């Protein structure tokens, strides 16, 4: 152990000399110097950023055109939209509960089809804003929701069959 310690000190060059005279006074002088207040600049920058952010939100909300949706057509259509949105949301939760390695491909394909239908729905919303309360557009929007529910219901049936393969055999023989 002693040899290792001696080797360490002999291999490394350490400064064993006394510091120059006045070293302690210079060091204390640096410690006692008033600190530069760098936090002031950060406070100023954060305040400026907050103002810019609030101004951006305000301008964005004032200049954003409100888009008309199915719920804006009538109270009945709002009720229809709320029904479909809540049902689809619930079915998606059920879908996610059944996600595993066996069902991953089926679920991903269904989600891709739902995404396509969502894109179509956005197109219908744009058309509704341009043309106004067109019965055809409203009907297509409702059909879009129905198609989404059908996809989800079919996938849930497929997942149930994967989960319980005997279910199909039992149903055939009944």
Mean pLDDT of the chain: 79
What are the pLDDT digits (tens) for 108-165? Answer: 898 899 899 999 999 988 888 888 778 898 899 999 999 999 999 999 998 888 888 7
The pLDDT-based confidence of 173 (bands split at 50, 70, 90) is very low
How far is residue 103's CA from residue 124's CA, in Å, rounded to a whole number? 32
How far is residue 95's CA from residue 87's CA, in Å, rounded to a whole number? 12
pLDDT at residue number 147: 94
What are the pLDDT digits (tens) for 35-83? Answer: 765 555 555 656 666 666 666 666 665 554 566 777 777 888 889 889 9
pLDDT at residue number 23: 81
pLDDT at residue number 83: 92
What are the pLDDT digits (tens) for 2-48? Answer: 788 778 777 777 666 777 788 888 888 888 887 765 555 555 656 66
Q: Which residue has the tokens 């006394």?
A: 18
How far is residue 132's CA from residue 138's CA, in Å, rounded to a whole number? 10
Statement: the pTM of the whole predicted model exceeds 0.75? no
The residues, ordered by sequence, that sit 6+ positions from 67 with a Cβ below 8 Å of its Cβ are: 125, 126, 129
Alpha-carbon torsion angle 7, 12, 15, 16, nearest 10: 0
Centroid of chain to Cα 88: 19
Nearest to 125 by CA among 141, 136, 109, 110: 141
Domain boundaries, the chain: 73-173
pLDDT at residue number 174: 46
């Amino acid at each position: 152990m002693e040899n290792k310690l001696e080797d360490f000190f002999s291999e490394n060059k350490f400064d064993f000399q006394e510091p120059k005279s006045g070293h302690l006074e210079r060091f204390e002088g640096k410690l006692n110097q008033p600190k530069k207040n760098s936090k002031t600049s950060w406070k100023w920058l954060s305040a400026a950023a907050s103002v810019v952010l609030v101004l951006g939100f305000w301008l964005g909300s004032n200049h954003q055109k409100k888009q008309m949706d199915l719920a804006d057509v009538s109270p009945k259509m709002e009720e229809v939209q709320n029904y479909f949105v809540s049902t689809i949301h619930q079915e998606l939760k059920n879908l996610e509960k059944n996600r595993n390695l066996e069902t991953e491909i089926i679920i991903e394909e269904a989600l891709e089809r739902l995404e396509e239908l969502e894109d179509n729905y956005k197109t219908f919303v744009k058309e509704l804003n341009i043309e106004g309360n067109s019965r055809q557009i409203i009907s297509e929007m409702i059909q879009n929701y129905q198609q989404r529910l059908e996809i989800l219901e079919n996938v849930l049936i497929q997942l149930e069959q994967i989960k319980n393969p005997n279910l199909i055999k039992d149903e055939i023989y009944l």
